[in-house]
Chains A and B, each alone.
Chain A
């Protein structure tokens, strides 16, 4: 598969082979949290409740798709010397726009997420995708890559949040599922250590499953 010819034809038909593989890469094969272990800080911080994790995931999809698009559009024009500053400026702009939108229309959610929306600016996933992908690839494919990595991030966040909210508060999305009469919520799960345990075990399980498949392929 020659990269250049694929890239020059762009993303012709959004489901071209390259797009699908890019999407699969971000979501599963090269998942930013599980495989690249990026963006873990916020993954630990906002996963006490599923609702928070979903909003955070949406924020990351929005930011990484749009910043990838603009970095890719500007990639030939951008002076190499200041490319990182340019990337951060673009990312910061979208993050602040999203933050203001939350503050205006989802005030309670914005209060719960606190500084973590703003901290997406320094989220390694967004910057990493701009550097590693958008600078070398055409705009449409870059959007797909941004969405894919955002989705991959959101998926893991949601997984961790499901475990933590269910065990920690006995509820999901605020609905009480485990009745308080027989289930004593484990406070540890909503506190920070619960996030470390859940994320660690999750990464371990997935890597163990994947590792056994990979090992066989290696010479």
Chain B
């Protein structure tokens, strides 16, 4: 009797496991191409936004990827992967984007910084992956914070490369510093490290 019960349990568990797996695999296979396109479009959207590429209102995933493929060229400069925005085939680059990443407070932070052709002035910054505390560190993805970067430089007044995210005591009016986020010291520090390293790498190139 006991053996029979155990057999019943085992068979039931095995059949249920197989049925559930088949369902999940089917769902996964069916949605996979759509999920991939969404993820790619998400990244592309951040690059285009940082580079300030004009986009049609409410552009779909396919449209974004199309714009990206037409106007953005990938180039290597001294081991640095750059994305140049060339709206016309023969003109020079109008902006250059470089990706950066590093540890955040709760998880990795990944983002992209776009520079004007002078390679000194910041055109835009976007974070496309972050898991910072919502409402505090998570504010790094807010427009209010991102807008502070526009027009800033990646070198200080004396020409040394670097970047600062200020916490207190002013200093945010320096050319290579922005005001940090109140209550998000850890996130601000880590973002500063990332951008500082990036600034130095870009200038070295």
Contacts and interface: CB of A to CB of B under 8 A. Distances in A.
Contact of A103 (B12, B31, B41): B31
B31 A104 contact: yes
Given A77-B12, A82-B12, A101 B5 contact: no
Nearest to A92: B20
A113 B11 CA distance: 37
A129 B33 CA distance: 35
B102 to A, nearest CB: 21
A101 B38 CA distance: 12
A164 B23 CA distance: 37
Interface string A97-108: 100110111010
Nearest to B23: A93
Contact of A100 (B20, B28, B41): B28
A203 interface: no
A107 B35 CA distance: 8
B9 interface: yes
Nearest to B31: A104
B108 interface: no
B28 to A, nearest CB: 6
B20 A90 contact: yes
Given A82-B9, A86-B16, A96 B24 contact: yes
B54 to A, nearest CB: 21
A85 B12 CA distance: 11
Nearest to A48: B134
A78 interface: yes
A79 B9 contact: yes
A97 B31 CA distance: 9
